[in-house]
Amino acid sequence: MNSLLVAASPAAIPVHCVTKAGLPVVLAGLPLEARRFAEAQGFTAGPGQHVVLPDASGAVAAVLLGVEGADARRRDPFAPGRLAALLPAGDYVLSGEMGDPDLAALGWLLQGYRFERYRKPAPATARLVLPEGMDGEDLLRMAGSVALARDLVNTPANDMGPAEIEAAIRALGDEAGAVVTAIVGDDLIARNFPMIHAVGRASPRAPRLIDLVWGDPAHPKVTLVGKGVAFDTGGLDLKPSAGMLLMKKDMGGAAAAIAAARMIMLAELPVRLRLLVPAVENAVSGSSFRPGDVLLSRKGLSVEIGNTDAEGRLILADALALADEEAPELLIDYATLTGAARTALGPELPPFYTHDDGLASEIMRLGQAVNDPVWRMPLWSPYERMLDSRIADLNHVSGGSFAGSVTAALFLNRFVEKTDSYAHFDIYAWNPSPKPGRPEGGECQAARLTYALVRQLYPLG
Protein backbone atom coordinates (compact mmCIF):
# COMPACT_ATOMS: atom_id res chain seq x y z
CA MET A 1 0.00 0.00 0.00
CA ASN A 2 1.17 3.53 -0.62
CA SER A 3 2.44 5.81 2.14
CA LEU A 4 -1.00 7.29 2.83
CA LEU A 5 -2.88 4.04 3.44
CA VAL A 6 -2.28 1.30 6.00
CA ALA A 7 -4.18 -1.95 6.43
CA ALA A 8 -4.40 -1.67 10.22
CA SER A 9 -2.91 0.23 13.14
CA PRO A 10 -3.47 -0.52 16.84
CA ALA A 11 -2.64 3.09 17.70
CA ALA A 12 -4.93 4.69 15.12
CA ILE A 13 -6.37 8.06 16.14
CA PRO A 14 -10.13 8.38 15.63
CA VAL A 15 -11.44 11.12 13.35
CA HIS A 16 -15.07 11.88 14.19
CA CYS A 17 -16.96 13.39 11.23
CA VAL A 18 -19.80 15.38 12.74
CA THR A 19 -22.56 17.69 11.59
CA LYS A 20 -23.81 20.65 13.57
CA ALA A 21 -26.93 18.71 14.42
CA GLY A 22 -24.92 15.74 15.66
CA LEU A 23 -22.34 17.73 17.62
CA PRO A 24 -24.03 17.59 21.06
CA VAL A 25 -24.12 13.80 20.97
CA VAL A 26 -20.47 13.56 19.93
CA LEU A 27 -19.36 16.04 22.60
CA ALA A 28 -21.30 14.16 25.24
CA GLY A 29 -19.33 11.04 24.42
CA LEU A 30 -15.95 12.70 24.95
CA PRO A 31 -14.05 12.97 28.23
CA LEU A 32 -14.74 16.21 30.06
CA GLU A 33 -11.29 17.64 29.32
CA ALA A 34 -11.63 16.95 25.56
CA ARG A 35 -15.12 18.44 25.48
CA ARG A 36 -13.94 21.60 27.19
CA PHE A 37 -10.96 21.86 24.86
CA ALA A 38 -13.20 21.62 21.78
CA GLU A 39 -15.50 24.27 23.18
CA ALA A 40 -12.55 26.52 24.06
CA GLN A 41 -11.31 26.26 20.49
CA GLY A 42 -14.69 27.47 19.24
CA PHE A 43 -15.48 24.22 17.43
CA THR A 44 -19.06 24.36 16.15
CA ALA A 45 -18.84 21.60 13.49
CA GLY A 46 -18.99 24.11 10.66
CA PRO A 47 -18.25 22.40 7.34
CA GLY A 48 -14.48 22.02 6.97
CA GLN A 49 -13.76 23.10 10.55
CA HIS A 50 -11.59 20.74 12.54
CA VAL A 51 -10.00 20.53 15.96
CA VAL A 52 -7.24 18.24 17.22
CA LEU A 53 -7.99 17.01 20.75
CA PRO A 54 -5.01 16.23 23.04
CA ASP A 55 -4.82 13.57 25.71
CA ALA A 56 -3.44 14.18 29.21
CA SER A 57 0.14 13.93 27.92
CA GLY A 58 -0.43 16.40 25.08
CA ALA A 59 -0.43 13.76 22.33
CA VAL A 60 -3.21 13.65 19.76
CA ALA A 61 -6.15 11.69 21.16
CA ALA A 62 -8.86 12.37 18.58
CA VAL A 63 -9.93 14.74 15.83
CA LEU A 64 -13.29 16.36 15.20
CA LEU A 65 -14.20 17.38 11.65
CA GLY A 66 -17.29 19.38 10.75
CA VAL A 67 -19.16 18.12 7.69
CA GLU A 68 -22.35 18.99 5.83
CA GLY A 69 -25.51 17.06 6.68
CA ALA A 70 -26.55 14.16 4.45
CA ASP A 71 -29.28 16.27 2.85
CA ALA A 72 -27.02 19.25 2.09
CA ARG A 73 -26.80 20.02 -1.62
CA ARG A 74 -23.20 21.21 -1.24
CA ARG A 75 -21.95 18.11 0.58
CA ASP A 76 -18.60 16.99 -0.85
CA PRO A 77 -17.95 13.24 -0.52
CA PHE A 78 -14.20 14.00 -0.45
CA ALA A 79 -14.57 16.40 2.50
CA PRO A 80 -12.91 14.15 5.13
CA GLY A 81 -9.91 13.82 2.83
CA ARG A 82 -8.87 17.44 3.39
CA LEU A 83 -7.36 16.34 6.72
CA ALA A 84 -4.62 14.39 4.93
CA ALA A 85 -2.83 17.69 4.35
CA LEU A 86 -3.67 19.25 7.72
CA LEU A 87 -3.05 16.68 10.46
CA PRO A 88 0.27 15.81 12.07
CA ALA A 89 1.95 12.56 11.08
CA GLY A 90 0.22 9.51 12.46
CA ASP A 91 -2.37 6.86 11.68
CA TYR A 92 -6.03 7.87 11.63
CA VAL A 93 -9.34 6.09 11.26
CA LEU A 94 -12.51 7.76 9.98
CA SER A 95 -15.83 7.39 11.75
CA GLY A 96 -19.14 9.16 12.10
CA GLU A 97 -21.14 11.01 9.45
CA MET A 98 -18.64 10.79 6.61
CA GLY A 99 -21.14 9.91 3.86
CA ASP A 100 -19.74 7.36 1.42
CA PRO A 101 -16.78 5.68 3.21
CA ASP A 102 -15.13 4.68 -0.08
CA LEU A 103 -15.17 8.23 -1.41
CA ALA A 104 -14.05 9.63 1.93
CA ALA A 105 -11.05 7.29 1.86
CA LEU A 106 -10.33 8.05 -1.79
CA GLY A 107 -10.52 11.77 -1.04
CA TRP A 108 -7.88 11.26 1.65
CA LEU A 109 -5.52 9.58 -0.83
CA LEU A 110 -6.16 12.19 -3.53
CA GLN A 111 -5.63 15.03 -1.06
CA GLY A 112 -2.22 13.62 -0.16
CA TYR A 113 -0.95 14.01 -3.73
CA ARG A 114 2.15 16.18 -4.10
CA PHE A 115 4.09 16.94 -7.28
CA GLU A 116 7.70 16.42 -6.23
CA ARG A 117 9.68 16.14 -9.44
CA TYR A 118 11.49 19.43 -8.87
CA ARG A 119 11.61 19.68 -5.07
CA LYS A 120 12.41 17.68 -1.98
CA PRO A 121 9.90 14.97 -0.99
CA ALA A 122 7.36 15.94 1.62
CA PRO A 123 7.92 14.78 5.21
CA ALA A 124 5.84 12.03 6.76
CA THR A 125 2.11 12.69 6.50
CA ALA A 126 -1.13 11.58 8.06
CA ARG A 127 -1.98 8.01 7.06
CA LEU A 128 -5.45 6.53 6.81
CA VAL A 129 -6.34 3.12 8.17
CA LEU A 130 -8.24 1.20 5.51
CA PRO A 131 -11.89 1.03 6.61
CA GLU A 132 -13.15 -2.46 7.25
CA GLY A 133 -14.59 -4.24 4.20
CA MET A 134 -13.13 -1.74 1.73
CA ASP A 135 -11.18 -2.79 -1.38
CA GLY A 136 -7.81 -1.22 -0.71
CA GLU A 137 -6.32 -2.41 -3.98
CA ASP A 138 -9.04 -0.66 -5.96
CA LEU A 139 -8.57 2.53 -3.94
CA LEU A 140 -4.85 2.48 -4.66
CA ARG A 141 -5.45 1.68 -8.33
CA MET A 142 -7.65 4.75 -8.70
CA ALA A 143 -5.47 7.04 -6.60
CA GLY A 144 -2.31 5.92 -8.37
CA SER A 145 -3.85 6.48 -11.80
CA VAL A 146 -5.06 9.96 -10.86
CA ALA A 147 -1.60 10.76 -9.47
CA LEU A 148 -0.04 9.63 -12.76
CA ALA A 149 -2.35 11.91 -14.74
CA ARG A 150 -1.66 14.84 -12.40
CA ASP A 151 2.09 14.29 -12.72
CA LEU A 152 1.86 14.33 -16.51
CA VAL A 153 -0.17 17.54 -16.53
CA ASN A 154 1.96 19.28 -13.91
CA THR A 155 5.24 18.53 -15.69
CA PRO A 156 6.30 21.57 -17.73
CA ALA A 157 6.53 21.27 -21.47
CA ASN A 158 10.34 21.34 -21.55
CA ASP A 159 10.21 17.92 -19.87
CA MET A 160 6.88 16.69 -21.33
CA GLY A 161 6.93 16.77 -25.12
CA PRO A 162 5.49 14.26 -27.59
CA ALA A 163 8.35 11.82 -27.01
CA GLU A 164 7.89 11.97 -23.23
CA ILE A 165 4.14 11.34 -23.60
CA GLU A 166 5.04 8.29 -25.66
CA ALA A 167 7.52 7.18 -22.98
CA ALA A 168 4.81 7.45 -20.31
CA ILE A 169 2.47 5.28 -22.37
CA ARG A 170 5.23 2.75 -23.03
CA ALA A 171 5.91 2.59 -19.29
CA LEU A 172 2.22 1.96 -18.71
CA GLY A 173 2.31 -0.76 -21.37
CA ASP A 174 5.17 -2.45 -19.52
CA GLU A 175 3.28 -2.19 -16.23
CA ALA A 176 0.05 -3.67 -17.62
CA GLY A 177 1.37 -6.05 -20.26
CA ALA A 178 0.09 -4.08 -23.26
CA VAL A 179 1.53 -3.65 -26.75
CA VAL A 180 2.53 -0.09 -27.64
CA THR A 181 3.45 1.22 -31.08
CA ALA A 182 3.95 4.73 -32.45
CA ILE A 183 3.87 6.41 -35.85
CA VAL A 184 6.33 9.30 -35.79
CA GLY A 185 7.17 12.29 -37.95
CA ASP A 186 6.82 11.96 -41.72
CA ASP A 187 5.57 8.39 -41.31
CA LEU A 188 2.30 10.03 -40.31
CA ILE A 189 1.94 11.19 -43.92
CA ALA A 190 2.79 7.78 -45.30
CA ARG A 191 0.28 6.14 -42.94
CA ASN A 192 -2.50 8.67 -43.70
CA PHE A 193 -2.63 10.86 -40.61
CA PRO A 194 -2.19 14.19 -42.38
CA MET A 195 -3.81 16.48 -39.82
CA ILE A 196 -1.73 15.16 -36.91
CA HIS A 197 1.35 15.78 -39.03
CA ALA A 198 0.25 19.26 -40.11
CA VAL A 199 -0.35 20.44 -36.55
CA GLY A 200 2.93 19.09 -35.20
CA ARG A 201 5.34 19.61 -38.09
CA ALA A 202 6.44 23.13 -37.04
CA SER A 203 8.05 21.82 -33.86
CA PRO A 204 11.53 20.25 -33.72
CA ARG A 205 9.89 17.62 -31.51
CA ALA A 206 8.29 15.22 -33.96
CA PRO A 207 4.53 14.63 -33.84
CA ARG A 208 3.31 11.09 -33.35
CA LEU A 209 0.31 8.84 -32.91
CA ILE A 210 0.74 6.47 -29.96
CA ASP A 211 -1.30 3.26 -30.02
CA LEU A 212 -1.66 0.95 -27.00
CA VAL A 213 -3.57 -2.33 -27.28
CA TRP A 214 -4.38 -4.64 -24.37
CA GLY A 215 -6.66 -7.57 -23.64
CA ASP A 216 -8.23 -10.53 -25.37
CA PRO A 217 -9.14 -9.70 -29.00
CA ALA A 218 -12.34 -11.69 -28.50
CA HIS A 219 -13.54 -9.37 -25.75
CA PRO A 220 -15.67 -6.25 -26.40
CA LYS A 221 -13.71 -3.40 -27.94
CA VAL A 222 -13.32 -0.25 -25.83
CA THR A 223 -11.27 2.61 -27.26
CA LEU A 224 -10.07 5.74 -25.46
CA VAL A 225 -8.62 8.73 -27.33
CA GLY A 226 -6.80 11.59 -25.62
CA LYS A 227 -5.64 14.95 -26.95
CA GLY A 228 -1.89 15.14 -26.43
CA VAL A 229 -0.86 18.70 -27.24
CA ALA A 230 2.29 18.99 -25.16
CA PHE A 231 2.28 22.78 -25.50
CA ASP A 232 0.02 25.10 -27.45
CA THR A 233 1.38 28.44 -28.61
CA GLY A 234 -1.72 28.91 -30.73
CA GLY A 235 0.40 28.51 -33.86
CA LEU A 236 0.33 31.43 -36.27
CA ASP A 237 -2.84 32.60 -34.51
CA LEU A 238 -0.50 33.19 -31.58
CA LYS A 239 -1.89 33.26 -28.06
CA PRO A 240 -1.11 36.27 -25.86
CA SER A 241 1.44 35.57 -23.14
CA ALA A 242 -1.23 35.20 -20.46
CA GLY A 243 -2.96 32.60 -22.61
CA MET A 244 0.15 30.43 -22.69
CA LEU A 245 0.77 30.23 -18.94
CA LEU A 246 -1.20 27.01 -18.46
CA MET A 247 -0.64 25.50 -21.89
CA LYS A 248 1.48 22.70 -20.45
CA LYS A 249 -1.92 21.27 -19.46
CA ASP A 250 -3.10 21.04 -23.07
CA MET A 251 -2.22 17.36 -22.99
CA GLY A 252 -4.65 16.88 -20.08
CA GLY A 253 -6.97 14.85 -22.32
CA ALA A 254 -4.16 12.39 -22.98
CA ALA A 255 -3.43 12.25 -19.24
CA ALA A 256 -7.08 11.43 -18.47
CA ALA A 257 -7.18 8.73 -21.15
CA ILE A 258 -3.95 7.22 -19.81
CA ALA A 259 -5.35 7.19 -16.26
CA ALA A 260 -8.61 5.55 -17.34
CA ALA A 261 -6.69 2.95 -19.36
CA ARG A 262 -4.47 2.16 -16.38
CA MET A 263 -7.45 1.57 -14.08
CA ILE A 264 -9.14 -0.69 -16.62
CA MET A 265 -6.04 -2.74 -17.34
CA LEU A 266 -4.84 -3.15 -13.75
CA ALA A 267 -8.36 -4.23 -12.75
CA GLU A 268 -8.14 -6.81 -15.57
CA LEU A 269 -11.60 -5.98 -16.87
CA PRO A 270 -12.73 -8.28 -19.70
CA VAL A 271 -12.36 -5.86 -22.61
CA ARG A 272 -10.06 -5.42 -25.57
CA LEU A 273 -8.77 -1.95 -24.75
CA ARG A 274 -7.21 0.46 -27.20
CA LEU A 275 -5.65 3.78 -26.20
CA LEU A 276 -4.89 6.30 -28.95
CA VAL A 277 -2.97 9.50 -28.21
CA PRO A 278 -2.03 11.93 -30.98
CA ALA A 279 0.90 13.82 -29.41
CA VAL A 280 2.16 17.08 -30.88
CA GLU A 281 3.52 20.49 -30.01
CA ASN A 282 1.69 23.36 -31.71
CA ALA A 283 4.70 25.55 -32.38
CA VAL A 284 5.58 28.42 -34.74
CA SER A 285 8.08 28.15 -37.56
CA GLY A 286 8.28 28.44 -41.32
CA SER A 287 6.53 25.09 -41.64
CA SER A 288 3.52 26.02 -39.47
CA PHE A 289 0.10 25.34 -40.93
CA ARG A 290 -1.77 28.55 -41.69
CA PRO A 291 -5.24 30.08 -41.34
CA GLY A 292 -6.99 29.44 -44.63
CA ASP A 293 -5.07 26.26 -45.43
CA VAL A 294 -7.11 23.24 -46.50
CA LEU A 295 -6.04 19.91 -44.99
CA LEU A 296 -7.15 16.49 -46.11
CA SER A 297 -8.09 14.30 -43.16
CA ARG A 298 -7.65 10.57 -42.70
CA LYS A 299 -11.37 10.17 -43.25
CA GLY A 300 -11.11 11.89 -46.63
CA LEU A 301 -12.96 15.04 -45.61
CA SER A 302 -11.24 18.28 -46.60
CA VAL A 303 -10.96 20.73 -43.71
CA GLU A 304 -10.46 24.48 -44.04
CA ILE A 305 -8.42 25.97 -41.21
CA GLY A 306 -10.26 28.82 -39.56
CA ASN A 307 -7.88 29.31 -36.64
CA THR A 308 -4.58 27.55 -35.88
CA ASP A 309 -5.31 27.84 -32.16
CA ALA A 310 -8.06 25.23 -32.57
CA GLU A 311 -5.53 22.50 -33.29
CA GLY A 312 -6.73 19.90 -30.82
CA ARG A 313 -9.81 18.93 -32.79
CA LEU A 314 -7.67 18.39 -35.89
CA ILE A 315 -5.40 15.80 -34.30
CA LEU A 316 -8.35 14.17 -32.56
CA ALA A 317 -10.22 13.91 -35.88
CA ASP A 318 -7.52 11.72 -37.43
CA ALA A 319 -7.27 9.57 -34.29
CA LEU A 320 -11.06 9.21 -34.02
CA ALA A 321 -11.28 8.22 -37.66
CA LEU A 322 -8.78 5.42 -37.00
CA ALA A 323 -10.65 4.32 -33.88
CA ASP A 324 -13.97 4.30 -35.71
CA GLU A 325 -12.66 2.06 -38.48
CA GLU A 326 -12.98 -0.97 -36.21
CA ALA A 327 -16.35 0.14 -34.75
CA PRO A 328 -15.64 -0.39 -31.04
CA GLU A 329 -18.57 -1.01 -28.71
CA LEU A 330 -17.55 2.06 -26.71
CA LEU A 331 -15.48 5.04 -27.90
CA ILE A 332 -14.58 7.94 -25.61
CA ASP A 333 -12.33 10.93 -26.18
CA TYR A 334 -10.97 13.46 -23.70
CA ALA A 335 -9.65 16.88 -24.64
CA THR A 336 -8.88 20.28 -23.15
CA LEU A 337 -10.69 21.61 -26.17
CA THR A 338 -12.53 24.90 -25.68
CA GLY A 339 -12.64 27.94 -23.45
CA ALA A 340 -16.36 28.04 -24.23
CA ALA A 341 -16.84 24.94 -22.07
CA ARG A 342 -15.33 26.75 -19.10
CA THR A 343 -17.45 29.85 -19.75
CA ALA A 344 -20.56 27.68 -19.69
CA LEU A 345 -19.80 25.29 -16.83
CA GLY A 346 -16.61 26.41 -15.10
CA PRO A 347 -13.46 24.38 -14.40
CA GLU A 348 -15.00 21.70 -12.16
CA LEU A 349 -17.84 20.44 -14.35
CA PRO A 350 -16.72 19.25 -17.80
CA PRO A 351 -19.40 19.01 -20.49
CA PHE A 352 -19.79 15.84 -22.49
CA TYR A 353 -21.54 15.09 -25.76
CA THR A 354 -23.13 11.93 -27.13
CA HIS A 355 -26.04 10.88 -29.33
CA ASP A 356 -26.56 7.79 -27.15
CA ASP A 357 -29.20 8.69 -24.55
CA GLY A 358 -28.66 5.49 -22.58
CA LEU A 359 -24.93 6.09 -22.42
CA ALA A 360 -25.51 9.71 -21.41
CA SER A 361 -27.78 8.67 -18.56
CA GLU A 362 -25.21 6.25 -17.17
CA ILE A 363 -22.36 8.74 -17.52
CA MET A 364 -24.32 11.34 -15.57
CA ARG A 365 -25.33 8.84 -12.86
CA LEU A 366 -21.88 7.35 -12.45
CA GLY A 367 -20.20 10.75 -12.47
CA GLN A 368 -22.26 11.72 -9.45
CA ALA A 369 -21.82 8.32 -7.79
CA VAL A 370 -18.02 8.40 -7.92
CA ASN A 371 -17.68 12.18 -7.42
CA ASP A 372 -16.26 12.73 -10.89
CA PRO A 373 -19.06 15.00 -12.13
CA VAL A 374 -19.81 15.97 -15.73
CA TRP A 375 -22.79 17.55 -17.48
CA ARG A 376 -24.42 16.60 -20.77
CA MET A 377 -24.53 19.21 -23.51
CA PRO A 378 -26.40 18.88 -26.82
CA LEU A 379 -24.99 17.82 -30.17
CA TRP A 380 -27.36 20.37 -31.72
CA SER A 381 -27.34 19.46 -35.40
CA PRO A 382 -28.68 22.83 -36.69
CA TYR A 383 -25.39 24.36 -35.57
CA GLU A 384 -23.50 22.22 -38.08
CA ARG A 385 -24.11 25.00 -40.60
CA MET A 386 -21.67 27.11 -38.55
CA LEU A 387 -18.92 24.79 -39.81
CA ASP A 388 -19.74 25.33 -43.48
CA SER A 389 -16.85 26.20 -45.80
CA ARG A 390 -16.98 27.74 -49.27
CA ILE A 391 -13.94 25.82 -50.48
CA ALA A 392 -13.78 22.58 -48.44
CA ASP A 393 -16.09 19.95 -46.97
CA LEU A 394 -16.13 21.85 -43.68
CA ASN A 395 -14.33 24.45 -41.60
CA HIS A 396 -12.94 23.27 -38.29
CA VAL A 397 -14.21 26.30 -36.35
CA SER A 398 -17.47 28.19 -36.42
CA GLY A 399 -17.73 31.60 -38.03
CA GLY A 400 -18.76 33.41 -34.86
CA SER A 401 -18.34 33.45 -31.09
CA PHE A 402 -21.39 31.38 -30.18
CA ALA A 403 -21.63 27.71 -29.08
CA GLY A 404 -17.90 27.07 -29.31
CA SER A 405 -17.91 23.84 -27.30
CA VAL A 406 -20.96 22.52 -29.18
CA THR A 407 -19.52 23.22 -32.62
CA ALA A 408 -16.20 21.62 -31.62
CA ALA A 409 -18.09 18.50 -30.59
CA LEU A 410 -20.08 18.56 -33.83
CA PHE A 411 -16.83 18.75 -35.79
CA LEU A 412 -15.42 15.69 -34.00
CA ASN A 413 -18.69 13.84 -34.48
CA ARG A 414 -18.23 14.06 -38.27
CA PHE A 415 -15.32 11.63 -37.94
CA VAL A 416 -17.26 8.93 -36.08
CA GLU A 417 -19.82 7.00 -38.14
CA LYS A 418 -19.58 3.28 -37.36
CA THR A 419 -19.52 3.50 -33.56
CA ASP A 420 -22.92 3.78 -31.90
CA SER A 421 -21.76 4.55 -28.35
CA TYR A 422 -19.39 7.51 -28.59
CA ALA A 423 -18.85 10.28 -26.04
CA HIS A 424 -16.65 13.37 -26.12
CA PHE A 425 -15.46 15.04 -22.89
CA ASP A 426 -14.34 18.69 -23.04
CA ILE A 427 -12.28 18.80 -19.84
CA TYR A 428 -10.24 21.53 -18.14
CA ALA A 429 -7.62 19.28 -16.44
CA TRP A 430 -6.71 21.88 -13.82
CA ASN A 431 -7.79 22.92 -10.32
CA PRO A 432 -7.48 26.73 -10.12
CA SER A 433 -7.89 26.56 -6.33
CA PRO A 434 -7.63 23.73 -3.80
CA LYS A 435 -10.64 21.74 -2.66
CA PRO A 436 -10.94 18.49 -0.67
CA GLY A 437 -9.25 15.72 -2.63
CA ARG A 438 -8.33 18.17 -5.39
CA PRO A 439 -5.11 20.11 -4.72
CA GLU A 440 -4.37 23.13 -6.88
CA GLY A 441 -2.74 22.15 -10.17
CA GLY A 442 -3.18 19.42 -12.75
CA GLU A 443 -6.34 17.36 -12.45
CA CYS A 444 -7.64 14.10 -13.86
CA GLN A 445 -11.25 14.55 -14.99
CA ALA A 446 -13.72 11.96 -16.33
CA ALA A 447 -11.28 9.05 -15.96
CA ARG A 448 -12.73 7.54 -12.78
CA LEU A 449 -16.26 7.71 -14.15
CA THR A 450 -15.01 5.97 -17.31
CA TYR A 451 -13.52 3.22 -15.17
CA ALA A 452 -16.83 2.87 -13.30
CA LEU A 453 -18.71 2.79 -16.62
CA VAL A 454 -16.52 0.10 -18.18
CA ARG A 455 -16.60 -1.93 -14.98
CA GLN A 456 -20.40 -1.75 -15.01
CA LEU A 457 -20.75 -2.61 -18.70
CA TYR A 458 -18.17 -5.40 -18.64
CA PRO A 459 -17.95 -6.79 -15.10
CA LEU A 460 -15.43 -9.38 -13.98
CA GLY A 461 -16.69 -12.93 -13.80
From 75, 226, 49, 206, select the one nearest 152 (Cα to Cα): 226
Domain that residue 112 falls in = 5-134
Amino acid 2: pLDDT: 59
Amino acid 400: pLDDT: 81
Compute the CA torsion angle 112, 117, 122, 128 (nearest 10 deg). Answer: 30
Residue 153 burial (CB count, 10 A): 26
Amino acid 1: pLDDT: 40
pLDDT digits (tens, 9 = 90+) for 278-314: 999 999 999 999 999 999 999 999 999 999 999 999 9
Query: Structural domain tally of the chain?
Result: 2
Active site residues: 239, 313
pLDDT-above-70 percentage for the chain: 99
Cα separation, 18 vs 27, in Å, equals: 10
What count of Cα atoms within 13 Å lies in the side-chain half-sphere of residue 198?
28
CB 24 within 8 A of CB 49: no
24: pLDDT strictly greater than 50: yes
Q: Output DSSP code: residue 47.
A: T
CATH number of the CATH domain containing 42: 3.40.220.10
- Could you tell me whether strands 272-282 and 294-296 are parallel, antiparallel, or unpaired per DSSP bridges? unpaired
Cα separation, 218 vs 300, in Å, equals: 30
In terms of domains, do 323 and 437 share one? yes
In terms of domains, do 96 and 227 share one? no
Where among 77, 100, 134 does a domain terminate? 134
In terms of domains, do 65 and 199 share one? no
Compute the mean pLDDT over every residue in the chain, rounded to the nearest whole number: 95
**pLDDT level of residue 125 (50, 70, 90 thresholds):** confident
Beta-sheet strand order (sheet of 60-66) = 5-6, 126-129, 90-96, 13-18, 60-66, 50-54
108: pLDDT strictly greater than 90: yes
Amino acid 253: pLDDT: 98
Where among 80, 115, 134 does a domain terminate? 134
In terms of domains, do 180 and 88 share one? no
378: pLDDT strictly greater than 80: yes
In terms of domains, do 41 and 110 share one? yes
In terms of domains, do 160 and 102 share one? no
**pLDDT level of residue 111 (50, 70, 90 thresholds):** very high
Mean pLDDT of 240-256: 97
CB 26 within 8 A of CB 66: no
In terms of domains, do 160 and 20 share one? no
pTM assigned to the model: 0.97
Amino acid 11: pLDDT: 87
CATH number of the CATH domain containing 321: 3.40.630.10
In terms of domains, do 167 and 248 share one? yes
In terms of domains, do 435 and 299 share one? yes
What count of Cα atoms within 13 Å lies in the side-chain half-sphere of residue 246?
14
In terms of domains, do 323 and 425 share one? yes
Where among 100, 134, 168 does a domain terminate? 134
pLDDT digits (tens, 9 = 90+) for 134-179: 999 999 999 999 999 999 999 999 999 999 999 999 999 999 999 9
pLDDT digits (tens, 9 = 90+) for 62-90: 999 999 987 767 789 999 999 999 999 99
Q: Which long-range contacts (CB under 8 A, 24 or more apart) does 394-398 make?
A: 394/301, 394/302, 394/303, 394/304, 395/303, 395/304, 395/305, 395/306, 396/303, 396/304, 396/305, 396/306, 396/310, 396/313, 396/314, 396/317, 397/306, 397/307, 397/310, 398/306
Cα separation, 62 vs 13, in Å, equals: 6
In terms of domains, do 294 and 358 share one? yes
In terms of domains, do 102 and 214 share one? no
